[in-house]
Amino acid sequence: MVSKEKIEVLPEIITGVVFLFVRNGKLLIEDRPEEDEDFGSMPFIPGGKIRFRQGESAEEALIREVKEEMGRKVEVGEVIDLGDYYLISKRGKMQHPRAFLVKDFKGDPQNVVPYKGVHRWIKIEDYDKELPLAASKLVVERALKVLSEEESLED
C-alpha cells in the first residue's frame, strides 16, 4: 500500500503522448495484441513514449510516433489537457500522457508496426462502449468539448 506522503511527492511529468484522430464523425482507436504487457488486448487511443533523454518535447514525440507507427505526417493539433489523470498499466507502471487532437492529416493511418496493434475507425458516439479505459473516455470527452466549441464559433 502506498502512503499518502509518497503520492503527494510524485513528479508532475508528462511521460507520453496520446493522439486522437478525428475525421467525418469518426475516431481512430487501436486494438493491442493479447501479448501487450501494459494493457493487454483492450482497445484504446493510440499513443507512445516521449524520449526525454534525447530532449524530445511532447509535440515532437507526437510527430515521431505517428510517423513510426502509422506512416503519416501530421500537424500538431489542439492540446487536450488531461489534468492530473494517470494511467496505471496491468504491471503497475504509471503513465501521465499529454493528449493531442489531430484533425490535419492526409490518407488513412497505416499499421506500420502490426505487432503493436491494429487501428480502426469507430463512430465518435460509440466511444463509451468501445473504449474500456476511463483515461481513453476522458480524452474523448474533452475532445468532444473542444470540437463542440469550435462548431459553435463557426455558426
What is residue 31's predicted lDDT score, i.e. its pLDDT? Answer: 85
Q: Give the pLDDT score at 125.
A: 94
Q: What angle do CA 106, 152, 148 make, to 5 degrees?
A: 60
Q: What is the pLDDT of residues 117-130, one digit of tens each?
A: 788 999 999 999 99
Q: What pLDDT score does 1 carry? A: 41
Are residues 48 and 65 in contact, defined by beta-carbon separation less than 8 angstroms?
yes
**What is the amino acid identity at position 93?**
K
Q: Measure the CA–CA gap between 54 and 146, rounded to whole angstroms.
A: 32
**Interval 70-82: pLDDT, tens:** 888 887 877 787 6
Work out whether the CA dihedral 91, 85, 129, 26 comes out positive or negative: negative
What pLDDT, on the 0 to 100 scale, is given for residue 111? Answer: 77
- The residue assigned the cell 468532444 is 144
- Average pLDDT along the chain: 79
CB atoms near residue 22 (< 10 Å) = 20
Q: Output the CA torsion sign for 119, 66, 28, 39.
A: positive
What's the pLDDT at 38?
Answer: 66
In order of their start, the domains of the chain are 4-150 (3.90.79.10)
Beta carbons of 14 and 94 less than 8 angstroms apart: no
pLDDT at 37 over 80: no
Question: Which three three-digit cell numbers place residue 134?
Answer: 476511463
Q: What is the CA radius of gyration of the chain?
A: 16
Q: What does the pLDDT read at residue 115? A: 67
